[in-house]
Amino acid sequence: MTNLQNYTATTVGRRLNSLFLFAMKNLLFLAMLCVMGASYAQILSLSGNYEGMNLFVSNPIKSDGYGYCIDKVLVNGNILPASIQTEHFEIDLRLFQLKKGDEVFVELEHGEGCTPSFVNPEVLLPFSTFEITAISATSDGKITWSTKNESGKLAFDVEQYKWNRWVAAAEVLGKGQKTTNSYSIDIIPTSGENTIRVSQTDNTGIKRSSKSITFTSKSKSLTLSPVKVKTAVYFKAEQVATKTKYEVYDAFGNLLKKGYADHIDCSDLLSGIYLVNFDNKTEKIIKY
89 neighbors 57 (Cβ within 8 angstroms)? yes
Domain boundary pick from 196, 216, 236: 216
How far is residue 186's CA from residue 170's CA, in Å, rounded to a whole number?
A: 8
Question: What distance in Å separates the CA atoms of residue 263 and residue 240, rounded to the nearest whole number?
Answer: 12
Q: For 205-233, what is the mean pLDDT? A: 97
pLDDT at 34: 38
Please name which of 169, 156, 221, 224 lies closest in space to residue 195, comparing C-alpha atoms.
169
d(C-alpha 243, C-alpha 167), whole Å? 18
Give me the pLDDT at residue 252, please.
97
Residue 128 has pLDDT above 50, yes or no: yes
pLDDT at 203: 87
Show the CA angle centred on residue 221, arms to residues 216 and 225, nearest 5°: 160
What is the Cα–Cα distance from 143 to 186, expressed in whole angstroms?
A: 6
Q: What pLDDT, on the 0 to 100 scale, is given for residue 18?
A: 52
pLDDT recorded at residue 7: 43
95 lies in the same domain as 137: no
- pLDDT confidence band for 9 (50 / 70 / 90): very low
Clarify whether residues 138 and 170 are in a common domain. Answer: yes
For residues 48-64, give the mean pLDDT.
94
CA dist list (Å): 139 to 80, 162, 186, 194, 265 = 56, 17, 11, 9, 31
User: Closest Cα to residue 70, out of 50, 95, 90?
Assistant: 90
Statement to judge: residues 45 and 35 lie in one domain: no
Check whether residue 64 and residue 119 sit in a common domain.
yes
Calpha distance 162→212 (Å, rounded): 13
Per-residue confidence (pLDDT) for residue 78, from 0 to 100 = 97
The Cα–Cα gap between 200 and 183 comes to: 14
State the pLDDT at residue 28.
Answer: 40
Is it the case that residue 3 has pLDDT exceeding 80?
no
Q: What are the pLDDT digits (tens) for 221-261? A: 999 999 999 999 999 999 999 999 999 999 999 999 999 99
pLDDT at residue 5, as a whole number: 46
Residue 51 banded pLDDT, cuts 50, 70, 90: confident
Sign of CA dihedral 286, 247, 213, 219: negative
Q: Give the mean pLDDT of the chain.
A: 89
CB 232 within 8 A of CB 266: yes
Question: Residue 226, preceding bond cis, omega within 30 degrees?
Answer: yes
Distance CA 187, CA 211 (A): 18
Count of helix runs (H) and strand runs (E) in the chain: 1, 24
- pLDDT for 256 equals 98
For residues 111 and 140, membership in a common domain is answered with no
Is residue 278 very low, low, confident or very high in pLDDT (cuts 50, 70, 90)? very high
Q: Residue 28: give the domain boundaries.
A: 1-40
Q: Give me the pLDDT at residue 23, please.
A: 42
Whether 140 and 171 map to the same domain: the answer is yes
Residues 5 and 80 in one domain: no
Residues 73 and 137 in one domain: no
DSSP reduced 3-state for 187: coil
Indicate whether 206 and 181 sit together in one domain. yes
| Tens-digit pLDDT profile for residues 263-276 | 999 999 999 999 99
Tens of pLDDT, residues 68-127: 999 999 999 999 999 999 999 999 999 999 998 889 999 999 999 999 999 999 999 989
Question: Where among 86, 105, 124 does a domain terminate?
Answer: 124
Residue 275 belongs to a domain with what CATH number?
2.60.40.10
What separation in angstroms does the CA of 132 have from each of 8, 145, 148, 205, 245? 93, 7, 7, 20, 28
Domain count for the chain, please give it.
4
DSSP state of 122: G
Determine contact, residues 196/211, Cβ cutoff 8 Å: no
Q: 39 pLDDT exceeds 90?
A: no
What would the mean pLDDT of 207-217 be, rounded to a whole number?
Answer: 98
The H-or-E segment that residue 140 falls in is none
pLDDT of residue 22: 43
Tell me what percent of the residues of the chain surpass a pLDDT of 90. Answer: 78
Domain boundary among 182, 216, 250: 216
Max CA pair span of the chain = 120
Answer whether 0.75 is exceeded by the pTM. Answer: no
